Structure 1
């Protein structure tokens, strides 16, 4: 009860709410209804403009992973800070002012810690980042989601001895289901995805 009281009390409750959202997202992603690279387009725009995430060393992994780690670390640090310094927060308006300052401090502290944790993860995404997008054109892929349409879809493709998960799109809905084999024929740079069609043979 003490644990639940802490995580559902301001300021930790803010990060608890965000953490619950992150957990729900990853559950949906595991079911194949969400893409871990869904924010990649925004990441590329930030990179071109010298965005803050890249300046802090968050590049090289999907933004969804970076955000998830920031939320998780913020929640952990906020929980322990709340436990240790609850007596110093005071009452009334001061409680919310000092609580907000504690929340902001936990968030700021989570950023360099997340950047540090991301470094060993980058190698798992290197092959995808370094491979030329056009190298996949003409290759066969296996559909990895329950459906593929003009807005959603993922597939697994074998490239240089490794299996990679890529974003795919189809002009018509209902052509593909989980496990179907398709052909990659075009790359959409603005969407970072590939057009797939049925195999002609």
Structure 2
């Protein structure tokens, strides 16, 4: 009960909520309904454009999917916040001070977790570099089923079965109105910049 009381009271409850969202995402991803690389396309564009989105890469989080980096940050922030609240709860005070001090605990936990998460990412880079290249290329040439109402040069998703599991992938097509939901297509190329596949009508 002491564990639950700490985990689900302010300020740790904020990170507990985020951690539950992260766990839900990975469960959905394991079921094949979400792609761990789903955030990387937009992030790459922001980095190339010099926007604030590149800050995570500058802090040492490059080389792994953005979802992995965020998951590590949330998980470690939760751990730091949990133990900080457990050990220093007497500092929280009452009333307005409770929320002000709790907010400081939250920010402090995040700042402590960031370098720890960056350190945890480093040994994972080589694994993800090799796995992502092989897994993405392995889907090229496979048949997929369109999951969205349309596929354009900037929008579209499809489901593809590979090694006994179904994955939801981003797909693109230069010609609009070629595909609708339920149509079958062929993955012919993987674009590493947009993390999407070019599709064409299945010739057979």
Residue 157 of structure 1 and its aligned partner are, at CA, apart by 7.8
Whole-Å separation in 1 of the counterparts to 2:133 and 2:18: 32
Shift of the 154–59 alpha-carbon distance from structure 1 to 2, 3 Å rule, reads farther
Cα RMSD over matched residues? Answer: 3.1
Residue 27 of structure 1 and its aligned partner are, at CA, apart by 1.3
Q: Which residue does the alignment assign to 2:33? A: 33
Which protein is richer in helix relative to its size? 2
Whole-Å separation in 1 of the counterparts to 2:113 and 2:75: 9
Shift of the 157–34 alpha-carbon distance from structure 1 to 2, 3 Å rule, reads closer
Residue 112 of structure 1 and its aligned partner are, at CA, apart by 0.7
Task: Please tell me whether residue 94 in structure 1 is matched to residue 97 in structure 2.
Answer: yes
Whole-Å separation in 2 of the counterparts to 1:95 and 1:76: 20
Q: Which residue does the alignment assign to 1:162? A: none
Residue 20 of structure 1 and its aligned partner are, at CA, apart by 0.9
Q: Which residue does the alignment assign to 1:108? A: 111
Whole-Å separation in 2 of the counterparts to 1:175 and 1:30: 24
Q: Which residue does the alignment assign to 1:21? A: 21
Provide structure 2 residue ranges, at least 5 long, that are not aligned to the other structure.
173-178
Shift of the 123–190 alpha-carbon distance from structure 1 to 2, 3 Å rule, reads closer
Q: Which residue does the alignment assign to 2:64? A: 61
* Paired residue secondary structure (2:63): coil
Task: Please tell me whether residue 195 in structure 1 is matched to residue 198 in structure 2.
Answer: yes
> Contact (CA 8 Å) 1:46, 1:53: kept in 2 or not?
no
> Contact (CA 8 Å) 2:141, 2:186: kept in 1 or not?
yes
What do the CA deviations read for 1:2-58 (whole angstroms, capped 9, x no partner)?
111101110000001111111111111112221111111222023211621011011
Count how many residue pairs are aligned between Structure 1 and Structure 2. 185
Q: Which residue does the alignment assign to 2:142? A: 141
Q: Which residue does the alignment assign to 2:12? A: 12
TM-score, with length taken from structure 2:
0.76
Give 4+ residue runs of structure 1 displaced > 6 Å after superposition. Answer: 128-131
* Aligned match for 1:127, one of 106, 127, 130: 130
> Contact (CA 8 Å) 1:15, 1:75: kept in 2 or not?
yes
What do the CA deviations read for 1:95-145 (whole angstroms, capped 9, x no partner)?
1111110110001111111111111111122236778x9xx5x942365xx
Residue 189 of structure 1 and its aligned partner are, at CA, apart by 6.7
Q: Which residue does the alignment assign to 1:153? A: 158
Shift of the 84–139 alpha-carbon distance from structure 1 to 2, 3 Å rule, reads closer
Provide structure 1 residue ranges, at least 5 long, that are not aligned to the other structure.
159-164, 177-181
